[in-house]
A = this chain, B = another copy of it.
Amino acid sequence: MSDVTLINIKEEILAENKGLADKLRRRLKERGAFLVNLMSSPGSGKTSLIVRSLQELGSRYRMAVIEGDVDSAVDAERVAREGIRAVQIKTGGSCHLSAAMVEKGLGALSLDSLDLLFLENIGNLICPAGSDTGASLDVALVSIPEGDDKPLKYPLIFRTAHVFVVNKTDVREHFDFDVEAFRARVRRLNPEAPVFEVSCKTGEGIDLWCNWLRERVEEGR
């Protein structure tokens, strides 16, 4: 068997991605910029959470947004309407953002004049969890209508994200979402990660989320 060369494509790609992600993290830290990676299912409210956070933190930080999408630029246009610089990455079919795509997005921004960057990953609870983007903080967003069983079905993202945000609390009474059961399921996979409950529609809970985020930015950059 000594003349068999085993090429494990997936492991090689992941190792290469991790190397580039670590490089991006170092570069961002040197420039004093903090990158937040937002992951969720389609339609959980990633863009809405970014817009709310931009509004809440706008007086404090110089910010920009990198939007990932398979196609279209509707999210970047929505962010740009807030007067914030937005870069749209169209993956053209790819199911997650790689560090190489993020590097291209960062290349369109001038990092020295930025404190805080939001990265909106592709709407997908599976693939983005397995691919390091170079962010300093990985946020997983779940919304009330999706149900409280998501940690059971998509364990990787619930094990690896640093913080969880439950969105759409304004419609809580119309859905059977047991917040305590959800919190217990998250704790079992990720005991240290905080869970915030917000409504991006009404603004409920956005202050607590942004205060916590502000502390992470101050520590991390």
Chain A residues engaging chain B, CB cutoff 8 angstroms: 9, 41-43, 69-72, 74, 93, 95, 122-127, 130, 143, 145-147, 149-150, 152-156, 168, 170-171, 174-175
Provide a sorted-by-A list of 11 A–B residue pairs whose CB atoms are within 8 angstroms.
A9-B9, A42-B125, A70-B156, A71-B155, A93-B156, A123-B154, A124-B126, A145-B145, A145-B168, A171-B171, A171-B174
Q: Which of B123, B149, B156, B174 contacts A74 (CB 8 A)?
A: B149
Oligomer: number of copies:
2
Using Cβ atoms and an 8 Å threshold, which residues of chain B touch A122? 126
Closest 4 CB pairs of A and B: A43-B146, A145-B145, A72-B152, A95-B126
> Which residue of chain B has its CB nearest to the CB of A173?
B174
Measured CA separation A74–B126 after assembly (Å): 18
Using Cβ atoms and an 8 Å threshold, which residues of chain B touch A152? 71-72, 74
Q: Are B145 and A42 in contact (CB under 8 A)?
A: no
Q: Are A74 and B43 in contact (CB under 8 A)?
A: no
A127-B95 in contact given A71-B155, A152-B71 (Cβ < 8 Å): yes
Q: Are B41 and A154 in contact (CB under 8 A)?
A: no
Q: Are A125 and B124 in contact (CB under 8 A)?
A: yes
Using Cβ atoms and an 8 Å threshold, which residues of chain B touch A9? 9
Using Cβ atoms and an 8 Å threshold, which residues of chain B touch A70? 126, 153-156
Measured CA separation A156–B70 after assembly (Å): 9
Q: Which of B93, B125, B145, B174 contacts A123 (CB 8 A)?
A: B125
Measured CA separation A110–B147 after assembly (Å): 33
Q: Which of B42, B126, B171 contacts A153 (CB 8 A)?
A: B42
> Which residue of chain B has its CB nearest to the CB of A149?
B74
Q: Which of B42, B126, B156 contacts A154 (CB 8 A)?
A: B42
Chain B: minimal CB distance from A39 (Å): 12
Q: Are A153 and B71 in contact (CB under 8 A)?
A: yes
